[in-house]
Amino acid sequence: MEKKPVLVVALGGNALLKRGEPLEAGIQQQNILIAAGVIARLTDEWRVVLVHGNGPQVGLLALQNAAYSDVAPYPLDILVAESQGMVGYMLQQALRNALPSQEVTTLLTRVTVDPADPAFQDPCKYIGPVYTSVQAADLAAEKGWRIKQDGTGFRRVVPSPAPLAISESAAIHTLLQHDHLVICNGGGGIPVVQTGQTMAGCEAVIDKDLSAALLATQLQADALLILTDADAVYRDWGTPSQEAIGQVTVSSLAGTRFDAGSMGPKVDACCQFVRTCGGYAGIGSLQDGGRILSGQKGTLIIPG
């Protein structure tokens, strides 16, 4: 029996906890049930590898972590690992219930980064909840956080170095070959640096879209799908002339700039994958799911 094509899905942390929603387990569980329904339908046509974001979740863990002052705060790499377990478990439960005959496996995943990556000097990855300008200023002064504007609000930003290698890629490939729906690279992966044969965690959160594109390339996937809280990629976003981009070639996007803290990495990830593997990539809202890959909704990036 011929195997189905491989699809890597990157599910945004903001698709699991929508902007402005309280960071509560019950609310996240409800959103995960919706996400699981979409992912389950994709398995009709694809072998799915699922990468999830963790921006709101790892930010919440950092806040909880800082609230207990009797011990030193845990570093970000450990918080990313915690978020992989938390979100991965919730997705695994929901997907297994939606697909009783499908094996679903969550894999703790490390991703190597370069300690000299310039991202460490220019934090731009949003984590945690949205704050008012007053709240943001108070937190920056109290905790030494870097804060940047995100839409109409403000959020904490941390370094987001480029992913170089996925330590567990062989295990992911093996699980996929045995028809498991694999949940991996959560939050972009646990950030580690390697010196000789020794690995150590570092203070960063890797962009899950770039990590998903790297994984899709290593697996030689047929398609990459990025599901987020935006219905498409827009030219001139936030201006009167903004325009949704439908089907588009990689070459026609050359030179077009998108926000470095949100849509930019998504477009970069898709273009990188399409150029390298010759597959196609979609960006759009969770609710549109598979219709993005058929060109009916969202943005579809194709070779050319």
Q: Cβ(12)–Cβ(53) under 8 Å?
A: yes
Residue 271's closest CA among 295, 304, 222, 243? 304
Most confident of 11-15, 161-165, 235-239: 161-165
pLDDT of 261 reads 60
Determine what percent of the chain is predicted with pLDDT higher than 90: 67
Residue 3 annotated to the active site: no
Residue 151's closest CA among 230, 214, 89, 247? 230
Q: Which two structure tokens, joined as six digits, stand for 265? A: 């990495």
How far is 210 from 229, CA to CA, in rounded Å? 17
Q: CA angle at residue 301 from 253 to 91, to 5 degrees?
A: 125
- Which residue ranges make up each domain of the chain? 6-115+162-221
**Segment 30-57, tens digit of pLDDT:** 999 999 999 999 999 999 999 999 888 8
Active-site residue, from 266, 282, 290, 297: 266
Q: Cβ(146)–Cβ(158) under 8 Å?
A: yes
The average pLDDT across 222-248 equals: 90
pLDDT of 257 reads 83
More confident residue, 199 or 255: 199
pLDDT of 19 reads 73
Residue 196 annotated to the active site: no
Q: What is the mean pLDDT of the chain?
A: 91
Residues 6 or more apart whose Cβ sits within 8 Å of residue 142: none
pLDDT of 260 reads 67
Q: Which two structure tokens, joined as six digits, stand for 118? A: 């310039």
The average pLDDT across 183-197 equals: 95
The average pLDDT across 171-195 equals: 96
Active-site residue, from 12, 55, 59, 125: 125
Residue tagged 């694999």 (tokens): 182
Residue 125 annotated to the active site: yes
Residue 209's closest CA among 166, 162, 160, 269? 269
Active-site residue, from 13, 53, 290, 298: 13
The terminus-to-terminus CA distance of the chain in angstroms comes to: 32
**Segment 122-131, tens digit of pLDDT:** 998 888 778 8
pLDDT of 291 reads 94
**Segment 88-139, tens digit of pLDDT:** 999 999 999 999 999 999 999 999 999 999 999 999 888 877 889 999 999 8
Residue 208 annotated to the active site: yes
The average pLDDT across 183-188 equals: 96
Q: Which two structure tokens, joined as six digits, stand for 207? A: 């962009």
Q: Which two structure tokens, joined as six digits, stand for 227? A: 């599901």
Residue 13 annotated to the active site: yes
The average pLDDT across 246-261 equals: 85
**Segment 144-161, tens digit of pLDDT:** 889 999 888 998 898 999
Task: Indicate the pTM of the whole model.
Answer: 0.90
Q: Does domain 6-115+162-221 have CATH number 3.40.1160.10?
A: yes
Active-site residue, from 208, 261, 279, 290: 208
Banded pLDDT at 1 (limits 50, 70, 90):
low
pLDDT of 265 reads 85
